Amino acid sequence: MYSPAGVKTDPSHPIPDTMKAWVLGEPGELTLKDKPVPVPKKAEVLVRIDAVAICATDLEIIYNGPPASILGGMPFNKNFTPGHEYMGTVVALGPGVDEYRIGQRVTVEIHAGCGQCRRCREGMYTSCHNYGLNYGDVDKGHRANGFTTDGGFCEYQVNNINTLVAISDDMSDEEATLVVTAGTAMYGLTELGGLVAGESVVVTGPGPIGLLGVAVAKALGAQPVILTGTRDNRLKIGLELGADHVVNIRKEPDVVAAVKRLNGGKGVDYVLECSAAPSAVNEAVHMVNRGGKVCLAAFAHGDVPVEVAHIVRNNIYLYGIRGEGKSATHRAEAFMAQKRFDATKIHTHTFALEDLPTAIRYAKDRVEDAIKVVVKARGVPQVQKEAAE
Ligand SMILES: [Zn+2]
Ligand SMILES: [Zn+2]
């Protein structure tokens, strides 16, 4: 039985020595294997993973590699387990941990900074200067589960206490996996200034972060909130999450003019760019008014052309954000706990952990209009199990 030295366990939550874990081989190749259950160190706990959502970034990692960095390079054939948007139950406490108790339900942030570099000291732990320095003899204490350390497509994972967010029993497992997605949108709005009440916001791209970006902006009092995208079914969910207006750019090719028309003829105060479309950044800097701010929350796929002179002439601010920094996930969870928006509107499918390849196909090919697809090690509804076969 699992009983590492210095680690507190409890008979109410017995832990096996080994677990099922999906391991990345060649690009796109995942195999279910047995791995030892990992051991929490100082300031870490062991989380039994109850549910994990698939993110577009997981697909990038599984098929292309970056932004994962394992042993200082590509993540393939390194016994690496991807997956980062998970929640679960604390089942073991590392030495000295008294901030959480065994049996407590938690959801997780992705990044645990090293805690000692300049950026971590400023609270910018997603921009840790020791990013990825956690292999072999190098252990700076940095973790980014599913990016630089083993992630959540398995049964158990260790997490630094600073990456945990306690959740109440009336939040479902599936909803809890979405807290970090809302947290990423919250971080973007935090970097834009945070006080967006009464100010105008455009969100470009109705993916999970964009849709929850609409919800968070609205919960923060932004007015109007305008969502742009290409799929009517997703724009409709944006309206349900609080968007005042939506623009389908297939029907309105001049999206900048459409946004200004909806905002009383003026540019907006903020744009949260979540689409990664090649034209999106240049459109965003033309959507904001003079002195406006643009937050880039999507990983672009290559160089994109931008009219820099327009940015300079109009004193426009551009912010890149990485992940869910500055404890934004806690603020997002507070909104969700207060039912300020229903994040579950973007959850569309649940599969068993063993059916991860099917779940990934649903997410990647948007089968049945899939948005957020969740896998669970236990408690999967029978109907979804059958659908996977
Ligand atoms: Zn993600
Ligand atoms: Zn650091």
Q: How confident is residue 36, by pLDDT bands cut at 50, 70 and 90?
A: very high
For residue 109, how far is its CA from the centre of ligand 1 (angstroms)?
Answer: 10
Buried b (16+ CB within 10 A) or exposed e, 86-124: bbbbbbbbbeebeebebebbbbbbbbbbbbebebbeeeb
Contact indicator for 75, 151 with CB cutoff of 8 Å: no
How much is the average pLDDT of 33-61? Answer: 97
pLDDT of 136 over the 90 cut: no
pLDDT of 239 over the 80 cut: yes
For residue 122, the ligand closest to its alpha carbon is 2
How much is the average pLDDT of 326-346? Answer: 97
For residue 130, the ligand closest to its alpha carbon is 2
Count of helices and strands (H, E) across the chain = 12, 19
Buried b (16+ CB within 10 A) or exposed e, 162-173: bbbbebeeebeb
Distances 290 to 160, 312, 318, 325, 389 between C-alpha atoms, Å: 42, 10, 13, 27, 54
Q: How confident is residue 382, by pLDDT bands cut at 50, 70 and 90?
A: low
Give the least confident one: 34-38, 135-139, 156-160, 310-314: 135-139
144 φ/ψ sector (left φ>0, alpha ψ -120 to 50, else beta): beta
For residue 148, how far is its CA from the centre of ligand 2 (angstroms)?
Answer: 14
User: What is the structure's pLDDT at 387?
Assistant: 54
For the chain, the straight-line distance linking the first and the last C-alpha, in angstroms and rounded, comes to 34
Average pLDDT, rounded, for the chain: 95
CA-atom Rg of the chain in angstroms: 21
How much is the average pLDDT of 38-43? Answer: 96
In the numeric block, which tokens belong to residue 251? 């029907």
For residue 162, how far is its CA from the centre of ligand 2 (angstroms)?
Answer: 13
pLDDT tens string 182-198: 999 999 999 999 889 99
Reduced to 3 states (helix: H, G, I; strand: E, B; else coil), residue 14 is coil
User: What is the structure's pLDDT at 380?
Assistant: 76
Distances 380 to 124, 276, 345 between C-alpha atoms, Å: 37, 33, 18
pLDDT of 389 over the 80 cut: no
Task: Check the CA dihedral 349-353-354-359 and report its sign.
Answer: positive
User: What is the structure's pLDDT at 383?
Assistant: 54
For residue 54, the ligand closest to its alpha carbon is 1
User: What is the structure's pLDDT at 195?
Assistant: 85
In this prediction, what percent of the chain has a pLDDT beyond 70? 98
For residue 124, the ligand closest to its alpha carbon is 2
For residue 96, how far is its CA from the centre of ligand 2 (angstroms)?
Answer: 21
For residue 310, how far is its CA from the centre of ligand 1 (angstroms)?
Answer: 32
Contact indicator for 263, 240 with CB cutoff of 8 Å: no
Give the least confident one: 131-140, 248-257, 292-301, 361-370: 131-140
For residue 152, the ligand closest to its alpha carbon is 1
| Residue found under tokens 């840790």 | 128
DSSP 346: G
Asked, as a colleague might, if the bond just before 224 is cis with ω within 30 of 0, I would say yes
For residue 29, how far is its CA from the centre of ligand 1 (angstroms)?
Answer: 19
User: What is the structure's pLDDT at 137?
Assistant: 84
Report field, pTM of the whole predicted structure over 0.75 = yes
For residue 328, how far is its CA from the centre of ligand 2 (angstroms)?
Answer: 17
pLDDT of 301 over the 90 cut: no
For residue 84, how far is its CA from the centre of ligand 1 (angstroms)?
Answer: 6
CA–CA separation, 380 and 350 (whole Å): 7
The set of residues, in sequence order, having a beta carbon less than 8 Å from that of 262 and lying 6+ positions away, is 224, 226, 244, 245, 247
Contact indicator for 196, 217 with CB cutoff of 8 Å: yes
For residue 237, how far is its CA from the centre of ligand 1 (angstroms)?
Answer: 19
User: What is the structure's pLDDT at 384?
Assistant: 57
CA–CA separation, 163 and 327 (whole Å): 9
For residue 62, how far is its CA from the centre of ligand 2 (angstroms)?
Answer: 26
Q: How confident is residue 177, by pLDDT bands cut at 50, 70 and 90?
A: very high
Q: How confident is residue 42, by pLDDT bands cut at 50, 70 and 90?
A: very high
How much is the average pLDDT of 319-326? Answer: 94
For residue 225, how far is its CA from the centre of ligand 1 (angstroms)?
Answer: 23
Select from 301, 298, 305, 287 the least CA-distant residue to 321: 298
For residue 86, how far is its CA from the centre of ligand 1 (angstroms)?
Answer: 10
pLDDT tens string 74-108: 999 999 999 999 999 999 999 999 999 999 999 99
User: What is the structure's pLDDT at 206?
Assistant: 98
